[in-house]
Amino acid sequence: MKTRTPMASATPPISPDSLILNQVRDVVRDRLAPLTVKIDEGYYPAEVLRALGEAGAFRQHLASHNGRNTFDVQTALAAMDVVSQECMSTGFMVWAQDVVCWYIEMSNNDHLKQTVLPKLASGKVLGGTALSNPMKYLAGIEPLLLTATETDDGFMLNGTLPWVSNLGSGHWFGSIFKVVGDNPRDVMALVNTDWAGLELRQLAKFCGMEGTGTYAMFFKDVFVPKNHVLGDPLIPYLKKMKAGFVLLQTGMATGLIEGCIELCEAAELQFGHVNCYLDDRPDELREALDDTRELIGELCTDVFNPKPEFMRRVLEARLLGSELSLRAASSAMLHTGANGYLHDAPAQRKLREAYFVAIVTPAIKHLRKELDTLATA
Amino acid sequence: MNTPRWICTVCGWIYNEVEGDPDSGIAPGTRFEDIPANWSCPLCGVTKADFITLEAYAAQRASSGPKTRPRRARGQIGGEDTVVIIGGGIAGWTVAERLRERDPERPITLITADDGCIYPKPALSMAIGQGRSPDDLIEQSGTEKAAALGVTLQANTRVMGIKPINKRLTTTKGNVKYGQLVLALGASQRRHSFAGDAADDILRINDLTSYRHLRSLLEGESRHIVLIGAGLIGVELAEDMTAGGHRVTLLDVGTQLLGRLAPPSIAQQLLTAMTPKGVSFCPGVSLAALDREANRYRAMLTNGAALATDIVISAMGLMPNIELAKHAGLQVGRGIIAQASDLRTSDQDIFAVGDCAEIDGRSYYYIDPIRRQAETVAASLCGEHHPFERHPISIRVKTPSLALHLCPPDQSVADFGDWHFHAGEGINSRVDFLAHQRLAGYALSGSHTQESELLNKVLISQLNPPPQN
How far apart CA B347 and CA B325 sit, in angstroms, is: 10
Please indicate, yes or no, whether residues A99 and A147 belong to a single structural domain of this protein: no
Distance in angstroms (rounded) separating the CA atoms of residues B369 and B392: 10
The radius of gyration of chain A from alpha carbons, rounded to an integer in Å, stands at 20
- Same domain? A256 vs A361: yes
Separation between Cα atoms, residue B10 and residue B361, nearest integer Å: 69
A222 interfacial to chain B (CB closer than 8 Å): no
- B446, B459: one domain: yes
Distance CA B421, CA B265 (A): 9
How far is A351 from A334, CA to CA, in rounded Å? 11
CATH number assigned to the domain comprising residue A300: 1.20.140.10
Same domain, B137 and B219: no
Q: Are residues B279 and B377 in the same domain?
A: no
Instruction: Give chain A positions within 8 Å (CB) of B171.
Output: 320
Give, in degrees to the nearest 5, the angle at Cα B468 between B463 and B469: 160
Q: How far apart are CA A96 and CA A127, in angstroms?
A: 7
Residues B183 and B326 in one domain: yes
Q: Are A264 and A332 in contact (CB under 8 A)?
A: yes
On whether residue B75 sits in a domain, the answer given is no
Please provide residue A162's backbone torsions phi and psi, each rounded to the nearest 5 degrees: -70, -45
SS3 A59: coil
Asked if residue A114 and residue A80 are part of one domain, the reply reads: yes
**Run of H or E residues at A329:** helix A308-336
CATH number of the domain bearing residue B50 = 2.20.28.10
Q: Which has the minimum average pLDDT: A316-320, B10-14, B87-91, B300-304? A: B10-14
How distant is the Cα of A290 from the closest Cα of chain B, in angstroms? 10
A377–B contact, CB cutoff 8 A: yes
Residue numbers in B near A292 (CB within 8 A): 170
**Could you tell me which residues come within 8 angstroms of residue B360 by beta carbon, excluding any fewer than 6 positions away?**
B340, B390
Rounded to two decimals, what is the model's pTM? Answer: 0.86
Which of these three, A74, A92, A126, is where a domain ends? Answer: A126
Given CB atoms, is B219 within the 8 Å cutoff of chain A?
no
Q: Which residue of B has its CA nearest to A316?
A: B172
pLDDT of residue A3: 41
**B69 domain residue, yes or no:** no
> Is-cis flag, bond preceding B392, omega within 30?
no
CB neighbours of residue B316 within 10 Å: 21
Q: In the prediction, which pLDDT does A9 show?
A: 46
Residues of chain A neighbouring B13 (CB-CB closer than 8 A): 339
Contact: B61, A291; criterion CB under 8 Å:
no
Helix, strand and coil content of chain B, in percent to the nearest 5, comes to 30, 30, 40
CB contact under 8 A, A291 and B175: yes
Q: Which residues are A146's β-sheet partners?
A: A159
CB B413 within 8 A of CB B384: no
Q: Which of B72, B112, B158, B204 to mutate to test the interface with A (most CBs of A within 10 A)?
A: B158
Which DSSP string corresponds to B39-68? -B-TTT--BGGGEEEHHHHHHHHHHHS-SS
Which domain, by its residues, includes B143? 83-189+319-381
Q: What are the chain A neighbours of B12 within 8 Å (beta carbons)? A: 270-271, 337-339
Longest dimension (CA), chain A: 72
Whole-number pLDDT of residue A7? 45
Task: Measure in Å the smallest separation between the Cα of A207 and chain B Cα atoms.
Answer: 25
Q: Find how far residue B393's CA is from the centre of its chain.
A: 21
Tell me if residue B405 falls in helix, strand or coil.
strand
Mean pLDDT of A255-263: 98
Same domain, A296 and A361: yes
CATH code of B261's domain:
3.50.50.60
Q: How far is B266 from chain A (nearest CA, A)?
A: 32
Cβ(B312)–Cβ(B201) under 8 Å? yes
The continuous run of DSSP H or E covering B183 comes out as strand B180-183
Q: Is residue B468 part of a domain?
A: no
Q: Are A113 and A194 in a shared domain?
A: no
Binned at pLDDT 50, 70 and 90, residue B77 comes out as: confident
The residues facing A231 across adjacent strands are A188
| pLDDT number for residue A5 | 43
> Distance, in angstroms, between A291 CA and closest chain B CA?
7
H-helix segments, B328-366: none
pLDDT for B151 beyond 80? yes
Is A253's pLDDT higher than 80? yes
Residue B397 falls within a domain, yes or no?
no
Q: List Cβ neighbours of B380 (8 Å cut-off, separation of 6 or more).
A: B342, B343, B344, B351, B386
B200/A269 touch (CB, cutoff 8 Å), yes or no: no
Q: Which of A124, A248, A113 is nearest to A190 (CA)?
A: A113
pLDDT value for B193: 86
Whether residue B332 sits in one domain with residue B304: no
Cα dihedral A321, A212, A107, A176, rounded to 10, equals 100
Strands of chain A, DSSP E: 127-128, 146-150, 154-164, 172-180, 185-192, 198-201, 215-225, 229-231
Q: Which of A323, A338, A376 sits opposite B209 (nearest CB)?
A: A376
Residue A270 pLDDT grade (very low, low, confident, very high; cuts 50, 70, 90): confident
Q: What is the pLDDT of residue A142?
A: 86
Contact B134, B121 (CB under 8 A): no
- B153 and B235 inside one domain: no
By C-alpha distance, which of B125, B127, B129, B148 is closest to B137?
Answer: B127
Q: What is the mean pLDDT of residues A316-345?
A: 95
Q: What whole-number distance in Å separates Cα of residue A189 and Cα of residue A176?
A: 7
Q: Does A343 touch chain B (CB under 8 A)?
A: no
Cα–Cα distance measured from residue B190 to residue A237, given in angstroms and rounded to the nearest whole number = 27
Please indicate, yes or no, if residue A13 is contained in any of the structural domains: no
**Is B128:B103 a contact under the CB 8 Å cutoff?**
no
Q: How many CB atoms lie within 10 A of CB A239?
A: 15
Q: Give me the CATH number covering residue A75.
A: 1.10.540.10
Average pLDDT, chain A: 92
- Kindly state whether residues A310 and A280 are assigned to the same domain: yes
Range B455-469 average pLDDT: 76
pLDDT in tens, A146-194: 999 999 999 999 999 988 999 999 999 999 999 999 999 999 999 999 9
CA pair distance B419, B441, nearest whole angstrom: 9
Residues A137 and A91 in one domain: no
Which pairing describes strands B296-301 and A154-164: parallel, antiparallel, or unpaired?
unpaired
The CA distance from B170 to A290, in Å, is 10
In a domain, A101, yes or no: yes
Inter-chain CB proximity A319 and B209 less than 8 Å: no
Q: What is the spatial distance between Cα B243 and Cα B251, in angstroms, rounded to a whole number?
A: 19
Contacts of B191 in chain A (CB under 8 A): 308
pLDDT digits (tens, 9 = 90+) for B336-370: 999 999 999 999 999 999 999 999 999 999 999 99
Residue type, B422: H
Please, is B416 exposed, middle or buried when counting C-beta atoms within 10 Å of its C-beta (0-12, 13-18, 19+)? exposed
Give the CATH number for residue A166. Answer: 2.40.110.10
pLDDT at residue A215 greater than cutoff 50: yes
| Same structural domain, A50 and A166 | no
The count of domains in chain B is 4
User: Coil, strand, or helix at residue A103?
Assistant: helix
Is B225 in the same domain as B285? yes
What pLDDT does A6 receive? 45
DSSP state string for A55-66: HTTTSTT-TTTS
* Beta-bridge partner residues of B312: B226
Say yes or no to pLDDT of B1 above 60. no
State the DSSP string of B69-97: PPPPSS---S-TT-EEEE--SHHHHHHHH
For residue B188, the chain A residue with the least C-alpha distance is: A375
Contacts of A291 in chain B (CB under 8 A): 161, 163, 168, 170, 175
- Contact in structure between A150 and A183 (CB atoms under 8 Å): yes
Q: Is residue B289 part of a domain?
A: yes
Considering the domain boundaries, does residue B175 fall inside one?
yes
- Secondary structure of residue B358 in the 3-state scheme: strand
The answer as to whether A11 is a domain residue is no
Using DSSP bridges, classify how beta strands A172-180 and A127-128 pair: parallel, antiparallel or unpaired.
Answer: parallel
Does A306 contact chain B (CB < 8 Å)? no
* Chain A from 39 to 58: CB within 8 A of any B CB: none
The whole-number pLDDT of residue B70 equals: 61
Distance from CA of A67 to the nearest CA of B (A): 32
Phi (first) and psi of residue A239, to 5 degrees: -60, -40
Burial class (CB in 10 A: 0-12, 13-18, 19+), B302: middle
pLDDT tens for residues B380-405?
Answer: 999 999 999 988 888 999 999 999 99
B455 and B436 in contact (C-beta within 8 Å)?
no
Evaluate if residue A310 carries a pLDDT over 80: yes
Q: Are residues A200 and A259 in the same domain?
A: no
**How many CB atoms neighbour CB A110 within 10 A?**
10
Q: Looking at beta carbons, which residues of chain B come within 8 Å of A375? A: 113, 207, 209-210
DSSP 8-state symbol, B328: T
Residue A141 — very low, low, confident or very high, per pLDDT cuts 50/70/90?
confident
Residues B203 and B312 in one domain: yes
Residue A139 — pLDDT band, cuts 50, 70, 90?
A: confident
- CB-based burial label for B456 (10 Å; 0-12, 13-18, 19+): middle
Residues B367 and B434 in one domain: no
Cβ B174–A323 below 8 Å, yes or no? yes
For chain B, say whether A236 makes contact (Cβ under 8 Å): no
**Domains identified in chain A, total number:** 3
Whether B386 is in a domain gets the answer no
- Do B160 and A317 lie within an 8 Å CB cutoff? yes
Final residue of a structural domain among A126, A152, A184: A126
Share of chain A above pLDDT 90, in %: 76
State the pairing for strand pair B174-177/B51-53. unpaired
* A215 and A273 belong to one structural domain: no
We report the CATH number of the domain holding residue B449 as 3.30.390.120
CB contact under 8 A, B204 and A377: yes
Q: Where are the alpha helices (DSSP H) in B158-299?
A: 208-218, 232-243, 264-274
Residues A46-71, mean pLDDT to the nearest whole number: 95
Which among A309, A327, A371 has CB closest to B174?
A327
Question: Is residue B396 domain-resident?
Answer: no
- Residue-wise pLDDT for A80-118, tens only, equals 999 999 999 999 999 999 999 999 999 999 999 999 999
Q: How many CB pairs under 8 A join A and B?
A: 93
Residues A97 and A70 in one domain: yes
Range of the domain at A74: 19-126
Domain boundary among A172, A207, A233: A233
Pair (B275, B356) in one structural domain: no
Helix (H) / strand (E) containing B432: strand B428-435
Q: What is the pLDDT of residues B281-300, one digit of tens each?
A: 999 999 999 999 988 999 99
Q: What contacts A235, CB < 8 A, 6 or more positions away?
A: A186
Mean pLDDT is lowest, of A10-24, A29-43, B115-129, B161-175, for A10-24
Question: What pLDDT, on the 0 to 100 scale, is given for residue B161?
Answer: 95
Task: Using an 8 Å CB-CB cutoff, list chain A residues near B161.
Answer: 291, 295
